[in-house]
Chain A
């Protein structure tokens, strides 16, 4: 009746059944309207109501959904979730960094031996290390360096000759270095020598990173579950408040999926807003923390701590993770609302 298509333009994609039903309804209604005009003896209005229909009222009134409280709750949950994601990212990055640093260096330890002087053993060990493929450098720590390392435990005035203090050789290696072969040669050719490849530390760091990541995801799952539960209650409340709307929708032939879609739209918008607010606050917090931790004074202790832990900056992966968390929360909220509506309608039936 009111076809705005240009000649040759294909009809809009729609289900066949719907097109047929709509067409039949339009045809019949046209006849009814014509008959009605004849009965009344006056023409139709001919005005175009479409401009007034733009921005039509939503079928489920937004005011009927618990907006402010739920928005605040979603924002808080989103903030916590983003914080967790950032913490996991941060710890993961630091653990990788530490592992890389530790794996780049091994230590040869030379214990004093009765069979040969320790200085000769050190020189021999440095030679062997230098000959090993994949070794960048091998530097023996002097006796004074070794004493300095022991100072925190033994004090500054101890007599080194009274204690069998081992000497250390710092060996910088690449990933291709055959550490097993180096350890074997040292054991065979240098009395009292042993190679420490920091494997124990690496294992512990990897375990710590795994535990932190697992804990982070567990907390994230709890936050998501709590959010979903809150949305379940909010959806049920919204449905109870819109019982008349749901009834009318059913009376005019709406399927459950249509009703669920109307509620889902509200909760998706609410979820995006709430999660966006929470995520944005979290991002601002990360940025501020990054600036403040970068501005700390250059005292030896602070420098040492910074070299160990680094600044509180989450980097690009952290920000991407935060953005994904925001979207995930919004999707979970919308899906939960949809499922709750469908389930509640089925139960009501």
Chain B
């Protein structure tokens, strides 16, 4: 599904933030990307999400070389990837419901088709009563759950989550982890970037540990 070979990344003329990173993400797999702050977790996720291009090395996503992708083909690949940002990236002028429905709206799906799905998903992440409010009145945890719901609504083939439990209390963190596990069980590959050891201990999975830009893999 995704293959990195000797990937290097630097911003401008600065030092390499990722060096000789090589790994594969198989369909239906579950892995954590972990490491200390500044180790390159978010940069790695941005490479996975085609938000950055590698400075060197090979990145293949869904059997396509990221280096040769045209601008027009990127959106089609991104529709197969769900991403949860650390800073949520919710649109403040739209309701929680509209934020979650946004990927389907972009796909051209009619309200009649996605309405029930969106409301069910929001109910499940515990935002059923906050469906029609705007993000500025949501708490950090609620925003996090709305962002997760938005990433899941199109049932992507791979889910990338950057610190998805960073702003939620432990019970909700456990529930979200169970959701990720259940999605994985249904066939979605899951990549969670986190430095929450407690979260990783709750569900044993492959770990990609970043340190000084290099990656060590613990199966």
Contact = CB atoms under 8 A, between A and B. Distances in A.
Interface of A: 1-4, 12, 14, 18, 21-22, 24-26, 28-33, 35-37, 39-40, 44-45, 47-50, 52-53, 56-57, 59, 61, 244-245, 247-256, 258, 346, 349
A95 B169 CA distance: 83
Contacts of B152: 29, 32
Contact of B102 (A39, A40, A252): A252
A253 B115 contact: no
Interface string B143-178: 000000010111100000000000000000000001
A253 B186 contact: no
A255 B116 contact: no
Contacts of B75: 250, 253-255
Contacts of A245: 91
**Range of interface residues on B (Cβ < 8 Å):** 35 or more
B120 A45 contact: yes
B57 interface: no
Contacts, number: 144
A32 B155 contact: yes
B30 interface: no
A251 B10 CA distance: 22
Interface string B176-208: 001100110111000000000000000000000
Interface string B109-144: 111111111111101100010011000000000000
B132 A52 contact: yes
Interface stretch (B13-21, B31-39, B59-67, B76-84): B76-84
Chain A, interface SS category: helix
Contact of B120 (A44, A53, A56, A253): A44
Q: Which 3 A-B pairs have the closest CB atoms?
A: A28-B155, A253-B79, A252-B103
Nearest to A17: B76
A57 B161 CA distance: 27
Interface centre among B51, B106, B121 (most CB of A within 10 A): B106
Contact of B155 (A18, A25, A255): A25
A269 B105 CA distance: 21
Given A250-B78, A253-B78, 17 more contacts: A1-B117, A2-B117, A18-B109, A22-B109, A29-B117, A30-B117, A31-B186, A32-B183, A33-B124, A36-B121, A39-B178, A45-B123, A52-B132, A53-B111, A253-B76, A256-B72, A346-B71
Query: Which of A25, A35, A254: most chain B Cβ within 10 A?
Result: A25
A97 to B, nearest CB: 55
A26 B109 CA distance: 10
A37 B116 CA distance: 14
A252 B182 contact: no
A83 to B, nearest CB: 38
Given A36-B179, A52-B132, A250-B78, A29 B106 contact: no
A31 B132 CA distance: 25
Contacts of A25: 104, 107, 153-155
B212 interface: no
B124 A1 contact: no
Contacts of B182: 32, 35-36, 39
A250 B128 CA distance: 27
A45 B128 contact: yes
B116 A1 contact: yes
B123 A252 contact: no
A69 B206 CA distance: 57
B124 A253 contact: no
B108 interface: yes
B66 to A, nearest CB: 14
A36 B89 CA distance: 24
B190 to A, nearest CB: 13
A314 B176 CA distance: 71
A22 B71 contact: no
